[in-house]
């Protein structure tokens, strides 16, 4: 089998959808099964989609000669790393909509808190969705290469 490169468009779409599913799962878990999607919950899913798609686009195509285990491990790492821009963007959204003037120290503390809480509560979900996204990205890239010939 000839080596295949995972395309940026494929990685962006697959990791964006995967991050959205992970964010939606976290919203449902944190709301104690009430199954009500609120405006902050939708904002969380949108930011997760953006962060996941961006990290997938930037990092996964760099993988050389990907195999399925490599793509899955890279997907786990990308999903966990995507929580960093997610935390920054979500904290920025919180501080912009809060209306209270705060300093950079409080912003940094909020980012670190979101990182730690997110990795503790949602780390397993991020790893599972990331592994699936890595595998699906490799599979779609291989199928596109087979179609082109």
- Kindly report the number of other CB atoms within 10 A of residue 108's CB atom: 12
Which residues touch 67 (CB under 8 Å, ≥6 apart)? none
DSSP string, 65-99: S--HHHHHHHHHHHHHHTHHHHHHHHHHHHHHHH-
User: Residue 99 is encoded by which pair of tokens?
Assistant: 């209306």
pTM, rounded to two decimals: 0.85
According to the model, what pLDDT value does residue 28 have? 82
User: Tens place of pLDDT for every residue, the chain, 149 residues?
Assistant: 567 888 889 999 999 999 999 988 888 887 776 666 676 778 888 899 999 999 999 998 888 888 899 999 999 999 999 999 999 988 888 888 776 777 788 889 989 998 998 899 889 999 999 999 999 999 998 888 777 76
Distance of CA 120 to the CA centre of its chain: 15
Segment 69-82, tens digit of pLDDT: 999 999 999 999 99
pLDDT tens by residue, 80-101: 999 999 999 888 888 887 767 7
Contact between residue 56 and residue 11 where contact means Cβ atoms under 8 Å apart: yes
């Amino acid at each position: 089998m000839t080596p295949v490169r995972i395309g940026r468009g494929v990685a962006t779409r697959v990791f964006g959808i995967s991050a959205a599913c992970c964010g939606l799962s976290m919203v449902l878990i944190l709301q104690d099964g009430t199954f009500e999607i609120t405006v902050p919950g939708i904002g969380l899913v949108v930011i997760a989609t953006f962060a996941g798609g961006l990290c997938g686009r930037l990092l996964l195509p760099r993988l050389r000669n990907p195999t399925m285990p490599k793509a899955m491990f890279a997907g786990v790492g990308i999903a966990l790393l995507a929580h960093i821009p997610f935390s920054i963007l979500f904290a920025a959204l919180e501080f912009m909509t809060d209306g209270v003037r705060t300093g950079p120290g409080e912003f940094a503390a909020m980012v670190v808190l979101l990182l730690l809480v997110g990795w503790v509560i949602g780390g397993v979900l991020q790893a599972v969705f990331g592994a699936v996204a890595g595998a699906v990205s490799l599979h779609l890239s291989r199928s596109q290469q087979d179609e082109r010939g």
